[in-house]
Amino acid sequence: MANPFVRARYLLSAHTHKQLPPDGAFEVAFAGRSNAGKSSALNALCQQNALARVSKTPGRTQQLVFFDMTPPEMAPPRYLVDLPGYGYAKVPQDLQAHWQAFIDQYFRTREALKGLVVVMDIRHPLKDYDRQMLGYAVERGLPAHALLTKADKLGRGQQSQALMAVKRELFSAFGDTVSVQAFSGESKQGVDEARAVVAGWLGLSI
Ligand SMILES: Nc1nc2c(ncn2[C@@H]2O[C@H](COP(=O)(O)OP(=O)(O)OP(=O)(O)O)[C@@H](O)[C@H]2O)c(=O)[nH]1
Ligand SMILES: [Mg+2]
């Protein structure tokens, strides 16, 4: 079967629960602080420069954005979901509260959700909200994968140090339910490893 990621296409953006596609698909969500590199990671996985919108301005992705990567004649649909970034102070408070409630509900109730990727800047990993998101997934019994991105900003030695430190912390907090890797949307380091994890959760072969 051809690599299913390259077939990913924009499906829809949901600002409220009603706008979500019907539950019952297989979905993997990408969460992370604002500006962490979620949209860039999705583009790298899908080998497309302009699939998800990348921006120098934090807070660019303001809805749940669905990308469809369902192989032909396969059901149910397979989706990748770009979540709004958290932790960006300049977003108006009522809007921030709205997203928070929306994402909380999505996480608690969405049957389609098969796994969570938490995207973190390798230089600033495991902030409070990152831990909270990982905690949500683990509580629900969902697998989670920490993507330590912007690895191109560090030398090899610093990368492996950062990776080891995060591995240790994740293991003491969550046992071996959360996996972790270094990644770069810029240099494409770690793309194959991340694809394998996501494809596995979606029941797709690559
Ligand atoms: N050097 C480097 N820069 C990156 C990498 N990934 C993302 N960036 C840059 O980081 C900034 C934010 O990237 P986005 O992918 O838009 O981040 P996001 O997490 O989707 O941001 P929001 O949608 O605002 O939450 C952009 O300027 C990207 O070019 C990476 O792997 N390496
Ligand atoms: Mg984004």
Domain residue extents for the chain: 4-202
Give the residue carrying structure tokens 């397979």: 78
Phi then psi for residue 113, to 5 deg, are -70, 120
Pocket test for ligand 1, best of 54, 95, 127, 184 (most atoms within 8 A of CB): 54
Phi, psi of 48, rounded to the nearest 5 degrees: -135, 130
Tell me, what's the pLDDT at 60?
Answer: 58
pLDDT beyond 90 at 28: yes
Fold of 4-202: Rossmann fold (3.40.50)
d(CA 171, CA 173): 5
pLDDT at residue number 63: 86
| 21 prior amide bond cis, ω within 30 | no
**Which residue type does 146 have?**
A
Ligand 1 interacting residues, C-beta cut-off 6 A: 32, 34-40, 54-56, 58-61, 85, 149-150, 152-153, 184-186
Average pLDDT over the chain reads: 92
Kindly list the strands in the beta sheet with 113-121, ordered across the sheet, starting from the edge strand earlier in the chain. Answer: 9-14, 64-68, 78-82, 26-32, 113-121, 144-149, 178-182
Asked whether residue 89 carries a pLDDT value surpassing 80, the answer given is: no
Residue 9 predicted with pLDDT over 70: yes
pTM: 0.95
**149 CA to centre of ligand 1 in angstroms:** 9
Six-digit token string for 40: 């860039």
pLDDT for 202 beyond 70? yes
Q: Mean pLDDT, to the nearest integer, of 31-52?
A: 93
Nearest C-alpha neighbor of 117 from the set 137, 96, 141? 137
Q: How many Å lie between the centroid of ligand 1 and the Cα of residue 24?
A: 30
Q: Does 18 or 104 have the greater pLDDT score?
A: 18
pLDDT of residue 48: 94
Mutate-to-test residue for ligand 1 from 38, 40, 150, highest number of ligand atoms within 8 A of CB: 40
Spatial contact of 42 and 103, defined as CB atoms under 8 Å apart: no
The predicted model gives 3-24 an average pLDDT of 94
Using the predicted structure, report yes or no on whether residue 124 has a pLDDT greater than 60: yes
Average pLDDT over residues 58-84: 88
Residue 24 contacts by C-beta under 8 Å, 6 or more apart in sequence? 76, 111, 112
Whether the predicted pLDDT of 58 surpasses 80: no
